[in-house]
Amino acid sequence: MLIRLTYRLLLILVAPVFLIGLYKSKPNKPKFGQRWKEHFGITPAIQKPFNNPIWVHAVSVGEVVAITPLIKALKQQTSSLNIILTTTTSTGADEAKKLGDLIEHRYMPLDFPFAIKSFINRMQPKALFIMETELWPNTLYYCQKMNIPVTVINARLSERSAVRYKKFPFIFNLLLSNINFVLAQTQQDAQRFINLGLSKQQIQLTGSIKFDIKATHAQLDAARNLRSTLGNTRPIWIAASTHKGEDEQIIAAHQQVLTNTPEALLIIVPRHPERFRSVEKLITHSGLSVISRSSEQPVTTHTQVYLGDSMGEMMTLLGAADICFIAGSLIGDKVGGHNLLEAAALKKPILNGPSYFNFKEITEQLTALGACTICQDAEEIAHTVKELFENKQMQEQQGQLALDFVENNQGALNITSKAIQNIIDDKL
């Protein structure tokens, strides 16, 4: 009780800072409009008949993209299944619109008791499924209190996070007592949850649904069209999901690549839309010529950088490149890398920085296979890109190894959807 009270007091203190960041107007960021009230539990009722819904939470864009195939699989299994999908961010809400009538979207209420209770009373969900590890103590507590089973799907727990929880076990225990099931990505993830106190009966090893990724015909067509626009014969590499502090290193690497391969083109894709314009200015100030995707200006042989300033097009942009560098991995321990599997599924040779603790197993497996190269800095990135540009056979071999790795690990989507269906059948 004391721990829960302490948490609530801390939540009151940090909430203003969180809300300022959430609502701050930024370029290319969708507006919340009047829907901001949903974060405080003022949730609009669903007009159409909507009985016995399940509640699925995916915090933002990446999680919504990852969970989309699972939602489609669940609806294919049971067309009458009603799904409420919550996101915290407006960019996540924008991505959720692509699911159309498959779901009803609402914003996730903040973890205040009044907001959570209001949401649950209005929506009446029968089960909560949380993507990965977006765990909020009050949400879990009131779900259990209202007899709503909580399942963490595609769950991962890094060694770094596990060590942190061991140092402060009361924090994890606050969560643990209110989690019914965990569908873990890897055996290592499962064991870490067990080491922290979850029983083996509560855990099922499903694999990662992110392996069950396949570019759609529309995405492949869009990638081919973009490649044609950029230049079918010119060497192209992409830096995907860059963060502040990485763009300078990527630009420096490209400047080195250009000394050896002057016709090369870099596609750079900032992780957050509010940084699109600042990255564009950074490129211009570096002396490189840049064209942004949103400008729709023609790309010429003199264009050296193509700025991917659009949302929801990562597969298209990755597909248009020969070589993929996955960012979020060059700035120490701040981010811990991003998912390599989209590039792997597109049969691309992959480069990654030295910091990838959030995707440790996948990165190390791809590296061991020879499908991924770890680069410490701009100089190593430039060297590897130049080497791959000069050796098409090496490009093909590494891309094939990456694709084989993805295909050999697929199947989690089917296992996860069946596990969720069993939980639903037991509850509804």
Q: Do 271 and 237 sit in the same domain of this protein?
A: yes
Is there a contact between 260 and 386 (Cβ–Cβ < 8 Å)?
Answer: yes
Q: Do 279 and 375 sit in the same domain of this protein?
A: yes
Highest mean pLDDT pick, 46-55, 62-71, 268-277, 383-392: 383-392
Chain center to CA of 127: 23
Q: Do 270 and 358 sit in the same domain of this protein?
A: yes
Share of the chain above pLDDT 70, in %: 98
Residue 130's domain is classified under what CATH number? 3.40.50.11720
* pLDDT tens string 124-147: 999 999 998 778 999 999 999 999
How is residue 231 written in tokens?
């230049």
In this prediction, residue 174 carries a pLDDT of 76
- For residues 354-382, b (16+ Cβ closer than 10 Å) or e, as one string? ebbebbbbbbeebbeeebbbbbeebebbb
Q: Do 300 and 366 sit in the same domain of this protein?
A: yes
The secondary structure element, H or E, covering residue 305 is: strand 305-307
Q: Do 252 and 114 sit in the same domain of this protein?
A: no
Q: Residue 118: which of 94, 138, 103, 97 has the closest Cα?
A: 138
* Structural domain total, the chain: 2
Q: Do 268 and 246 sit in the same domain of this protein?
A: yes
Q: Classify residue 75: in a domain, yes or no.
A: yes
Residue 251's domain is classified under what CATH number? 3.40.50.2000
The secondary structure element, H or E, covering residue 83 is: strand 83-87
Q: Classify residue 277: in a domain, yes or no.
A: yes
Q: Do 163 and 42 sit in the same domain of this protein?
A: yes
Q: Do 269 and 306 sit in the same domain of this protein?
A: yes
> In Å, how far are 8, 321, 353, 377, 380 from 325, measured between CA atoms?
41, 10, 8, 12, 12
> In Å, how far are 176, 191, 201 from 194, measured between CA atoms?
11, 5, 10
* pLDDT tens string 314-357: 999 999 999 999 999 999 878 889 989 999 999 999 999 999 98
Q: Classify residue 10: in a domain, yes or no.
A: no
Q: Classify residue 421: in a domain, yes or no.
A: yes
Whole-prediction pTM value?
Answer: 0.77
Q: Do 206 and 336 sit in the same domain of this protein?
A: no
Average pLDDT, the chain: 91
How is residue 255 written in tokens?
């400047």
Q: Classify residue 21: in a domain, yes or no.
A: no
Q: Classify residue 18: in a domain, yes or no.
A: no
Q: Do 199 and 127 sit in the same domain of this protein?
A: yes
Q: Classify residue 386: in a domain, yes or no.
A: yes
Q: Do 256 and 329 sit in the same domain of this protein?
A: yes
The secondary structure element, H or E, covering residue 87 is: strand 83-87
Q: Do 119 and 164 sit in the same domain of this protein?
A: yes
Is there a contact between 203 and 155 (Cβ–Cβ < 8 Å)?
Answer: no
Nearest-angstrom CA–CA distance, 385 and 348: 12
Q: Classify residue 16: in a domain, yes or no.
A: no
* pLDDT tens string 201-244: 999 999 989 899 888 899 999 999 999 999 999 999 999 999 99
Is there a contact between 350 and 398 (Cβ–Cβ < 8 Å)?
Answer: yes
What residue numbers bound the domain in which 122 lies?
A: 27-212+410-427
How is residue 263 written in tokens?
């016709």
Active site residues: 63
CA angle 45–41–151, rounded 5-degree value: 90
User: Over 60: is that where the pLDDT of 428 sits?
Assistant: no
In this prediction, residue 122 carries a pLDDT of 93
